[in-house]
Structure 1
Amino acid sequence: MNRILLVEDHERLARLVCTGLAGAGIAADVVHRIDAAWSALQQVDYGALVLDRGLPDGDGLLLLQRLRGAGSPIPCLVLTARDALADRVAGLDSGADDYLPKPFAMDELVARVRALLRRQKELEPLDPGHGDLRLVPSDGLLQCGDQSVQLPASEMQLMLLLARKGGETVRRTALEAAAWGLTEAVTPGALDVAVHRLRRKLSALGSRLRIVNVRGLGYALRDEEKQVAE
Protein backbone atom coordinates (compact mmCIF):
# COMPACT_ATOMS: atom_id res chain seq x y z
CA MET A 1 0.00 0.00 0.00
CA ASN A 2 1.25 3.50 -0.85
CA ARG A 3 1.72 5.79 2.16
CA ILE A 4 1.39 9.57 2.28
CA LEU A 5 1.56 12.22 4.98
CA LEU A 6 -1.56 14.35 5.55
CA VAL A 7 -1.01 17.61 7.44
CA GLU A 8 -4.49 18.77 8.46
CA ASP A 9 -5.65 20.18 11.80
CA HIS A 10 -9.38 19.64 11.22
CA GLU A 11 -9.77 16.18 12.74
CA ARG A 12 -13.10 15.25 11.13
CA LEU A 13 -11.87 16.25 7.68
CA ALA A 14 -8.63 14.34 8.26
CA ARG A 15 -10.60 11.19 9.12
CA LEU A 16 -12.77 11.56 6.00
CA VAL A 17 -9.71 12.05 3.78
CA CYS A 18 -7.97 9.03 5.31
CA THR A 19 -11.05 6.87 4.74
CA GLY A 20 -11.33 8.01 1.11
CA LEU A 21 -7.67 7.37 0.43
CA ALA A 22 -7.72 3.98 2.15
CA GLY A 23 -10.52 2.91 -0.17
CA ALA A 24 -8.15 3.60 -3.05
CA GLY A 25 -5.30 1.63 -1.46
CA ILE A 26 -3.45 4.68 -0.12
CA ALA A 27 -2.52 4.78 3.58
CA ALA A 28 -2.11 8.13 5.30
CA ASP A 29 -0.37 9.19 8.47
CA VAL A 30 -1.93 12.34 9.95
CA VAL A 31 -0.29 15.17 11.86
CA HIS A 32 -1.79 18.52 12.81
CA ARG A 33 1.19 20.86 13.06
CA ILE A 34 4.21 21.96 11.02
CA ASP A 35 6.74 20.78 13.59
CA ALA A 36 5.13 17.32 13.79
CA ALA A 37 5.09 17.10 9.98
CA TRP A 38 8.79 17.97 9.73
CA SER A 39 9.61 15.29 12.31
CA ALA A 40 7.51 12.68 10.50
CA LEU A 41 9.14 13.46 7.17
CA GLN A 42 12.56 12.83 8.70
CA GLN A 43 11.47 9.37 9.83
CA VAL A 44 9.38 8.01 6.97
CA ASP A 45 9.97 7.99 3.21
CA TYR A 46 6.47 9.08 2.16
CA GLY A 47 5.28 8.90 -1.43
CA ALA A 48 3.52 12.27 -1.26
CA LEU A 49 2.50 15.11 1.04
CA VAL A 50 -1.02 16.58 1.32
CA LEU A 51 -0.66 19.89 3.12
CA ASP A 52 -3.19 22.30 4.64
CA ARG A 53 -2.14 25.95 4.92
CA GLY A 54 -3.96 27.18 8.00
CA LEU A 55 -2.20 25.19 10.75
CA PRO A 56 -1.98 26.00 14.48
CA ASP A 57 1.74 26.82 14.29
CA GLY A 58 1.74 28.73 10.99
CA ASP A 59 1.17 28.63 7.26
CA GLY A 60 1.77 25.17 5.81
CA LEU A 61 3.76 26.78 3.01
CA LEU A 62 6.52 27.42 5.56
CA LEU A 63 6.97 23.65 5.83
CA LEU A 64 6.99 23.27 2.05
CA GLN A 65 9.58 26.03 1.65
CA ARG A 66 11.77 24.37 4.27
CA LEU A 67 11.50 21.01 2.51
CA ARG A 68 12.38 22.48 -0.88
CA GLY A 69 15.26 24.42 0.68
CA ALA A 70 16.59 21.13 2.05
CA GLY A 71 16.37 19.54 -1.41
CA SER A 72 13.36 17.32 -0.75
CA PRO A 73 11.59 16.31 -4.00
CA ILE A 74 8.49 14.86 -2.28
CA PRO A 75 5.39 15.61 -4.40
CA CYS A 76 3.05 17.97 -2.56
CA LEU A 77 -0.64 18.79 -2.92
CA VAL A 78 -1.73 21.93 -1.08
CA LEU A 79 -5.26 21.48 0.26
CA THR A 80 -6.77 24.71 1.56
CA ALA A 81 -9.76 27.02 1.79
CA ARG A 82 -7.64 29.87 0.44
CA ASP A 83 -8.69 29.96 -3.20
CA ALA A 84 -7.67 33.42 -4.38
CA LEU A 85 -5.37 33.54 -7.39
CA ALA A 86 -2.60 35.07 -5.29
CA ASP A 87 -2.86 32.16 -2.82
CA ARG A 88 -2.63 29.56 -5.59
CA VAL A 89 0.38 31.32 -7.07
CA ALA A 90 2.04 31.49 -3.64
CA GLY A 91 1.52 27.76 -3.17
CA LEU A 92 2.99 26.84 -6.55
CA ASP A 93 5.89 29.26 -6.11
CA SER A 94 6.67 27.66 -2.76
CA GLY A 95 7.15 24.30 -4.49
CA ALA A 96 3.69 22.73 -4.53
CA ASP A 97 2.99 20.31 -7.37
CA ASP A 98 -0.78 20.73 -7.18
CA TYR A 99 -3.37 22.90 -5.42
CA LEU A 100 -6.90 21.83 -4.49
CA PRO A 101 -9.31 24.29 -2.84
CA LYS A 102 -11.83 23.32 -0.16
CA PRO A 103 -14.54 22.14 -0.39
CA PHE A 104 -13.54 19.38 -2.77
CA ALA A 105 -14.86 16.10 -4.16
CA MET A 106 -13.18 13.06 -2.61
CA ASP A 107 -12.85 11.36 -5.99
CA GLU A 108 -10.90 14.33 -7.31
CA LEU A 109 -8.58 14.36 -4.29
CA VAL A 110 -7.90 10.64 -4.69
CA ALA A 111 -7.18 11.08 -8.40
CA ARG A 112 -4.77 13.94 -7.74
CA VAL A 113 -2.92 12.02 -5.01
CA ARG A 114 -2.64 9.01 -7.34
CA ALA A 115 -1.10 11.29 -9.97
CA LEU A 116 1.47 12.54 -7.44
CA LEU A 117 2.36 8.99 -6.44
CA ARG A 118 2.83 8.02 -10.09
CA ARG A 119 5.11 11.02 -10.55
CA GLN A 120 7.15 9.99 -7.52
CA LYS A 121 7.60 6.46 -8.86
CA GLU A 122 8.89 7.91 -12.13
CA LEU A 123 11.57 9.77 -10.16
CA GLU A 124 12.68 6.73 -8.16
CA PRO A 125 15.12 4.11 -9.48
CA LEU A 126 13.32 0.98 -10.56
CA ASP A 127 15.87 -1.35 -9.05
CA PRO A 128 17.70 0.15 -6.07
CA GLY A 129 20.43 -2.27 -5.10
CA HIS A 130 22.93 -2.96 -2.35
CA GLY A 131 25.71 -5.51 -2.51
CA ASP A 132 24.54 -8.56 -4.45
CA LEU A 133 20.87 -7.69 -4.00
CA ARG A 134 18.39 -5.86 -6.17
CA LEU A 135 15.04 -4.58 -4.94
CA VAL A 136 12.15 -3.90 -7.30
CA PRO A 137 9.56 -2.06 -5.19
CA SER A 138 6.99 -1.82 -7.99
CA ASP A 139 6.80 -5.64 -8.14
CA GLY A 140 7.59 -6.31 -4.47
CA LEU A 141 10.64 -8.38 -5.43
CA LEU A 142 13.92 -9.03 -3.66
CA GLN A 143 16.44 -10.51 -6.11
CA CYS A 144 19.87 -12.09 -5.89
CA GLY A 145 21.43 -13.42 -9.07
CA ASP A 146 18.73 -15.31 -10.98
CA GLN A 147 16.63 -15.97 -7.88
CA SER A 148 13.90 -13.80 -6.42
CA VAL A 149 11.41 -13.76 -3.59
CA GLN A 150 8.23 -11.77 -3.04
CA LEU A 151 8.17 -9.38 -0.08
CA PRO A 152 5.12 -7.95 1.68
CA ALA A 153 5.00 -4.15 1.78
CA SER A 154 6.35 -3.85 5.33
CA GLU A 155 9.40 -6.02 4.59
CA MET A 156 10.08 -4.16 1.35
CA GLN A 157 10.11 -0.85 3.21
CA LEU A 158 12.53 -2.27 5.78
CA MET A 159 14.88 -3.55 3.06
CA LEU A 160 14.75 -0.26 1.16
CA LEU A 161 15.68 1.75 4.23
CA LEU A 162 18.47 -0.61 5.26
CA ALA A 163 19.87 -0.70 1.72
CA ARG A 164 19.78 3.08 1.34
CA LYS A 165 21.82 3.47 4.52
CA GLY A 166 24.66 1.46 2.97
CA GLY A 167 25.72 -0.50 6.04
CA GLU A 168 25.00 2.21 8.60
CA THR A 169 22.95 1.38 11.68
CA VAL A 170 19.27 2.29 11.39
CA ARG A 171 17.44 2.88 14.67
CA ARG A 172 14.48 0.70 15.57
CA THR A 173 12.09 3.65 15.65
CA ALA A 174 13.04 4.64 12.09
CA LEU A 175 12.60 1.06 10.86
CA GLU A 176 9.20 0.72 12.52
CA ALA A 177 8.06 4.05 11.06
CA ALA A 178 9.20 3.02 7.58
CA ALA A 179 7.42 -0.33 7.73
CA TRP A 180 4.19 0.58 9.48
CA GLY A 181 3.97 4.38 9.47
CA LEU A 182 3.56 6.64 12.47
CA THR A 183 -0.08 6.01 13.27
CA GLU A 184 -0.39 2.24 12.91
CA ALA A 185 -0.04 0.38 16.22
CA VAL A 186 3.10 -1.76 16.16
CA THR A 187 2.98 -4.78 18.44
CA PRO A 188 6.04 -5.48 20.62
CA GLY A 189 8.45 -7.70 18.74
CA ALA A 190 6.90 -7.04 15.30
CA LEU A 191 10.14 -5.55 13.98
CA ASP A 192 12.21 -8.48 15.22
CA VAL A 193 9.81 -10.96 13.63
CA ALA A 194 9.99 -9.09 10.30
CA VAL A 195 13.80 -9.00 10.46
CA HIS A 196 13.88 -12.74 11.25
CA ARG A 197 11.81 -13.43 8.14
CA LEU A 198 14.05 -11.24 6.01
CA ARG A 199 17.16 -13.00 7.30
CA ARG A 200 15.70 -16.35 6.26
CA LYS A 201 14.91 -15.00 2.80
CA LEU A 202 18.40 -13.54 2.37
CA SER A 203 19.90 -16.89 3.34
CA ALA A 204 17.60 -18.79 0.96
CA LEU A 205 18.63 -16.47 -1.89
CA GLY A 206 22.31 -17.12 -1.16
CA SER A 207 23.09 -13.45 -0.54
CA ARG A 208 26.31 -12.37 1.16
CA LEU A 209 24.38 -9.66 2.95
CA ARG A 210 23.19 -10.07 6.50
CA ILE A 211 20.94 -7.97 8.72
CA VAL A 212 23.05 -7.35 11.79
CA ASN A 213 21.62 -6.53 15.20
CA VAL A 214 23.36 -3.48 16.69
CA ARG A 215 22.62 -3.96 20.36
CA GLY A 216 20.57 -1.21 21.93
CA LEU A 217 20.28 0.76 18.67
CA GLY A 218 18.76 -1.08 15.74
CA TYR A 219 19.83 -3.01 12.65
CA ALA A 220 22.27 -2.66 9.75
CA LEU A 221 22.56 -4.42 6.36
CA ARG A 222 26.17 -5.48 5.91
CA ASP A 223 28.27 -7.56 3.56
CA GLU A 224 29.52 -10.72 5.26
CA GLU A 225 32.59 -11.06 3.01
CA LYS A 226 33.68 -7.46 3.59
CA GLN A 227 33.43 -7.89 7.33
CA VAL A 228 35.63 -10.99 7.22
CA ALA A 229 38.19 -9.16 5.04
CA GLU A 230 38.32 -6.26 7.47
Structure 2
Amino acid sequence: MNRIALLEDHERMAALVSRALAAAGIETDVYHSISQATVGLEQIRYPALVVDRNLPDGDGLELVRKLRARRIDTPCLMLTARDALHDRISGLEAGADDYLPKPFSMEELVARVRALMRRAPQQQSLAPQHGDLRIDPVEGRMISGAESISLSPAELQLMLVLVRAAGATVRRTALEAAAWGIAEPVTPNALDVALHRLRRKLGGIDSRLQIANQRGLGYALKEHDAAA
Protein backbone atom coordinates (compact mmCIF):
# COMPACT_ATOMS: atom_id res chain seq x y z
CA MET A 1 0.00 0.00 0.00
CA ASN A 2 1.52 3.31 -1.11
CA ARG A 3 -0.79 5.55 0.91
CA ILE A 4 -0.10 6.98 4.36
CA ALA A 5 -2.17 8.80 6.98
CA LEU A 6 -1.41 12.47 7.70
CA LEU A 7 -2.82 13.99 10.89
CA GLU A 8 -2.50 17.77 10.49
CA ASP A 9 -5.14 20.39 11.27
CA HIS A 10 -3.45 23.28 9.43
CA GLU A 11 -4.94 23.08 5.95
CA ARG A 12 -2.10 24.83 4.14
CA MET A 13 0.54 22.66 5.82
CA ALA A 14 -1.48 19.53 5.08
CA ALA A 15 -1.73 20.56 1.43
CA LEU A 16 2.01 21.24 1.18
CA VAL A 17 2.94 17.92 2.77
CA SER A 18 0.44 16.01 0.63
CA ARG A 19 1.75 17.66 -2.52
CA ALA A 20 5.38 16.85 -1.68
CA LEU A 21 4.55 13.22 -0.92
CA ALA A 22 2.41 12.91 -4.07
CA ALA A 23 5.37 14.11 -6.16
CA ALA A 24 7.33 11.21 -4.64
CA GLY A 25 4.58 8.74 -5.50
CA ILE A 26 3.08 8.56 -2.00
CA GLU A 27 -0.61 9.32 -1.58
CA THR A 28 -2.08 10.66 1.68
CA ASP A 29 -5.33 10.43 3.57
CA VAL A 30 -5.56 13.67 5.57
CA TYR A 31 -7.21 13.79 9.01
CA HIS A 32 -7.70 17.09 10.84
CA SER A 33 -8.33 15.82 14.37
CA ILE A 34 -7.50 12.90 16.65
CA SER A 35 -11.12 11.73 16.70
CA GLN A 36 -11.29 11.78 12.91
CA ALA A 37 -8.00 9.90 12.58
CA THR A 38 -9.06 7.30 15.15
CA VAL A 39 -12.05 6.35 13.00
CA GLY A 40 -9.91 6.14 9.87
CA LEU A 41 -7.19 4.07 11.52
CA GLU A 42 -9.75 1.55 12.71
CA GLN A 43 -10.63 0.87 9.08
CA ILE A 44 -7.30 1.13 7.26
CA ARG A 45 -3.86 -0.25 8.15
CA TYR A 46 -1.41 2.28 6.75
CA PRO A 47 2.31 1.59 6.17
CA ALA A 48 3.19 4.85 7.95
CA LEU A 49 1.66 7.74 9.89
CA VAL A 50 2.67 11.41 9.94
CA VAL A 51 1.23 13.07 13.04
CA ASP A 52 1.24 16.69 14.19
CA ARG A 53 1.29 17.22 17.96
CA ASN A 54 -0.79 20.38 18.35
CA LEU A 55 -4.31 19.45 17.28
CA PRO A 56 -7.78 20.90 18.04
CA ASP A 57 -8.75 17.99 20.28
CA GLY A 58 -5.43 17.26 21.97
CA ASP A 59 -1.81 16.22 21.54
CA GLY A 60 -1.16 13.93 18.58
CA LEU A 61 1.17 11.98 20.82
CA GLU A 62 -1.86 10.69 22.71
CA LEU A 63 -3.07 9.01 19.53
CA VAL A 64 0.29 7.28 19.18
CA ARG A 65 0.13 6.10 22.80
CA LYS A 66 -3.32 4.63 22.21
CA LEU A 67 -2.17 2.84 19.07
CA ARG A 68 0.82 1.33 20.85
CA ALA A 69 -1.37 0.26 23.79
CA ARG A 70 -3.48 -1.64 21.26
CA ARG A 71 -0.30 -3.18 19.83
CA ILE A 72 -0.70 -1.33 16.54
CA ASP A 73 2.93 -0.76 15.59
CA THR A 74 2.55 1.24 12.37
CA PRO A 75 5.69 3.41 11.93
CA CYS A 76 5.01 7.00 13.02
CA LEU A 77 6.75 10.29 12.26
CA MET A 78 5.89 13.15 14.63
CA LEU A 79 5.75 16.72 13.30
CA THR A 80 6.06 19.44 15.92
CA ALA A 81 7.28 22.91 16.68
CA ARG A 82 8.81 21.49 19.87
CA ASP A 83 12.44 20.65 19.16
CA ALA A 84 13.96 20.34 22.65
CA LEU A 85 15.68 17.03 23.36
CA HIS A 86 13.27 16.12 26.17
CA ASP A 87 10.35 16.58 23.75
CA ARG A 88 11.97 14.23 21.28
CA ILE A 89 12.61 11.67 24.01
CA SER A 90 9.01 11.91 25.24
CA GLY A 91 7.86 11.24 21.70
CA LEU A 92 10.08 8.18 21.40
CA GLU A 93 8.95 6.88 24.78
CA ALA A 94 5.32 7.25 23.72
CA GLY A 95 5.94 5.07 20.68
CA ALA A 96 6.89 7.47 17.89
CA ASP A 97 9.60 6.20 15.54
CA ASP A 98 10.93 9.49 14.24
CA TYR A 99 10.65 13.15 15.16
CA LEU A 100 10.82 16.11 12.75
CA PRO A 101 10.73 19.63 14.27
CA LYS A 102 9.20 22.53 12.37
CA PRO A 103 10.23 24.24 10.21
CA PHE A 104 11.46 21.37 8.02
CA SER A 105 12.25 20.83 4.36
CA MET A 106 9.77 18.80 2.34
CA GLU A 107 12.65 16.83 0.85
CA GLU A 108 13.66 15.75 4.35
CA LEU A 109 10.09 14.80 5.28
CA VAL A 110 9.71 12.68 2.13
CA ALA A 111 13.01 10.91 2.84
CA ARG A 112 11.96 10.08 6.38
CA VAL A 113 8.54 8.83 5.32
CA ARG A 114 10.13 6.61 2.69
CA ALA A 115 12.51 5.20 5.31
CA LEU A 116 9.59 4.37 7.61
CA MET A 117 7.63 2.73 4.79
CA ARG A 118 10.56 0.44 3.97
CA ARG A 119 10.51 -1.11 7.41
CA ALA A 120 8.10 -3.82 8.49
CA PRO A 121 6.03 -2.88 11.57
CA GLN A 122 7.45 -5.76 13.62
CA GLN A 123 10.90 -4.24 13.25
CA GLN A 124 9.91 -1.07 15.09
CA SER A 125 11.33 -0.63 18.56
CA LEU A 126 11.72 2.01 21.22
CA ALA A 127 15.33 0.77 21.49
CA PRO A 128 16.17 0.36 17.78
CA GLN A 129 18.71 -2.27 16.81
CA HIS A 130 20.71 -3.14 13.72
CA GLY A 131 23.33 -5.86 13.56
CA ASP A 132 25.14 -6.05 16.89
CA LEU A 133 24.22 -2.47 17.76
CA ARG A 134 21.37 -1.20 19.91
CA ILE A 135 20.49 2.39 20.85
CA ASP A 136 18.91 3.31 24.18
CA PRO A 137 17.33 6.74 23.48
CA VAL A 138 16.21 7.24 27.09
CA GLU A 139 19.67 6.74 28.59
CA GLY A 140 21.44 8.18 25.54
CA ARG A 141 23.70 5.15 25.12
CA MET A 142 24.96 2.96 22.29
CA ILE A 143 25.26 -0.75 23.14
CA SER A 144 27.06 -3.68 21.54
CA GLY A 145 27.10 -6.96 23.44
CA ALA A 146 28.17 -6.28 27.02
CA GLU A 147 29.77 -2.94 26.10
CA SER A 148 28.06 0.46 26.01
CA ILE A 149 29.03 4.10 25.66
CA SER A 150 27.25 7.41 26.22
CA LEU A 151 26.25 9.67 23.35
CA SER A 152 25.87 13.43 23.18
CA PRO A 153 22.41 14.69 22.13
CA ALA A 154 23.56 15.25 18.54
CA GLU A 155 25.31 11.85 18.41
CA LEU A 156 22.17 10.18 19.74
CA GLN A 157 20.03 11.66 16.99
CA LEU A 158 22.56 10.66 14.33
CA MET A 159 22.72 7.06 15.57
CA LEU A 160 18.93 6.79 15.82
CA VAL A 161 18.62 7.78 12.16
CA LEU A 162 21.43 5.48 11.01
CA VAL A 163 20.26 2.45 13.01
CA ARG A 164 16.66 2.88 11.91
CA ALA A 165 17.85 3.07 8.30
CA ALA A 166 19.09 -0.53 8.83
CA GLY A 167 22.03 -0.26 6.44
CA ALA A 168 20.32 2.02 3.92
CA THR A 169 22.12 5.22 2.94
CA VAL A 170 21.08 8.43 4.71
CA ARG A 171 21.82 11.73 3.01
CA ARG A 172 24.10 14.26 4.66
CA THR A 173 21.35 16.88 4.85
CA ALA A 174 19.08 14.37 6.57
CA LEU A 175 21.71 13.63 9.21
CA GLU A 176 22.37 17.32 9.84
CA ALA A 177 18.65 17.99 10.23
CA ALA A 178 18.28 15.07 12.66
CA ALA A 179 21.18 16.19 14.83
CA TRP A 180 20.73 19.96 14.90
CA GLY A 181 17.33 20.75 13.38
CA ILE A 182 16.52 22.69 10.26
CA ALA A 183 16.66 26.13 11.86
CA GLU A 184 19.93 25.69 13.74
CA PRO A 185 23.06 27.08 12.02
CA VAL A 186 25.55 24.27 11.41
CA THR A 187 29.22 24.75 10.60
CA PRO A 188 30.37 23.01 7.40
CA ASN A 189 32.41 20.37 9.25
CA ALA A 190 30.07 19.79 12.22
CA LEU A 191 28.73 16.52 10.80
CA ASP A 192 32.21 15.27 9.90
CA VAL A 193 33.41 15.92 13.45
CA ALA A 194 30.39 14.17 14.98
CA LEU A 195 30.77 11.15 12.66
CA HIS A 196 34.46 10.94 13.50
CA ARG A 197 33.59 10.76 17.22
CA LEU A 198 30.94 8.14 16.56
CA ARG A 199 33.37 5.99 14.56
CA ARG A 200 35.75 6.05 17.52
CA LYS A 201 32.93 5.15 19.91
CA LEU A 202 31.82 2.26 17.70
CA GLY A 203 35.37 0.95 17.84
CA GLY A 204 35.43 1.48 21.60
CA ILE A 205 32.53 -0.93 22.12
CA ASP A 206 33.89 -3.45 19.57
CA SER A 207 30.91 -3.19 17.22
CA ARG A 208 31.23 -4.97 13.88
CA LEU A 209 29.48 -2.01 12.28
CA GLN A 210 31.06 1.15 11.02
CA ILE A 211 29.73 4.36 9.51
CA ALA A 212 30.60 4.10 5.83
CA ASN A 213 30.72 7.06 3.48
CA GLN A 214 28.72 6.24 0.35
CA ARG A 215 30.48 8.72 -1.89
CA GLY A 216 28.14 11.32 -3.31
CA LEU A 217 25.13 9.72 -1.61
CA GLY A 218 25.49 9.88 2.16
CA TYR A 219 26.31 7.55 5.04
CA ALA A 220 25.24 4.08 6.16
CA LEU A 221 26.00 1.51 8.84
CA LYS A 222 27.89 -1.39 7.26
CA GLU A 223 29.82 -4.43 8.45
CA HIS A 224 33.56 -3.73 8.46
CA ASP A 225 34.28 -6.03 5.54
CA ALA A 226 31.22 -4.80 3.60
CA ALA A 227 31.81 -1.06 3.86
CA ALA A 228 32.23 0.94 0.71
Q: What's the TM-score once normalised by structure 2's chain length? A: 0.53
1:192-207 to 2 correspondence within 5 Å? Answer: 192-207=192-207
**Which residue type is aligned with residue 119 of structure 1?**
A
Q: Which residue of 2 aligns with 1:142?
A: 142
Alpha-carbon deviation of 1:214?
A: 1.1
Query: In the TM superposition, what whole-angstrom CA distance separates every residue of 1:40-72 from its partner, at most 9, and x where no partner exists?
Result: 99xxxxxxxxxxx6xxxxxxx89xx8xx87543
Q: Which residue of 2 aligns with 1:97?
A: 63
Asked if 1:166 is matched to 2:141, the reply is: no
The 3 A distance-change label for structure 1 pair 118 and 40 is farther
Q: Which residue of 2 aligns with 1:108?
A: none
Q: Which residue of 1 aligns with 2:129?
A: 129
The answer to whether the Cα contact below 8 Å between 1:169 and 1:220 also exists between their aligned partners in 2 is yes
Q: Which has the larger radius of gyration?
A: 1
What RMSD in Å do the two structures reach over aligned CA positions?
4.4
Give the distance between the partners of 1:146 and 1:96, measured in 2 at CA: 35
Give the distance between the partners of 1:39 and 1:186, measured in 2 at CA: 28
The 3 A distance-change label for structure 1 pair 40 and 185 is farther
The answer to whether the Cα contact below 8 Å between 2:176 and 2:191 also exists between their aligned partners in 1 is yes
The answer to whether the Cα contact below 8 Å between 1:199 and 1:210 also exists between their aligned partners in 2 is yes
DSSP 3-state at the match of 1:222:
strand
Q: Which residue of 2 aligns with 1:178?
A: 178
Query: In the TM superposition, what whole-angstrom CA distance separates every residue of 1:174-198 from its partner, at most 9, and x where no partner exists?
Result: 1112112222222211111111110
Q: Which residue of 1 aligns with 2:79?
A: none
Alpha-carbon deviation of 1:162?
A: 1.0
Give the distance between the partners of 1:38 and 1:176, measured in 2 at CA: 24
The answer to whether the Cα contact below 8 Å between 2:140 and 2:156 also exists between their aligned partners in 1 is yes
The answer to whether the Cα contact below 8 Å between 2:89 and 2:138 also exists between their aligned partners in 1 is no
Q: Percent identity?
A: 43
Give the distance between the partners of 2:136 and 2:208, measured in 1 at CA: 19
Unaligned segments of structure 2, at least 5 residues: 1-7, 22-31, 65-87, 98-120
Q: Which residue of 2 aligns with 1:33?
A: 13
Give the distance between the partners of 2:147 and 2:199, measured in 1 at CA: 15
Alpha-carbon deviation of 1:132?
A: 1.3
DSSP 3-state at the match of 1:134:
strand
**Which residue type is aligned with residue 34 of structure 1?**
A
What is the aligned length? 158
The 3 A distance-change label for structure 1 pair 39 and 134 is farther
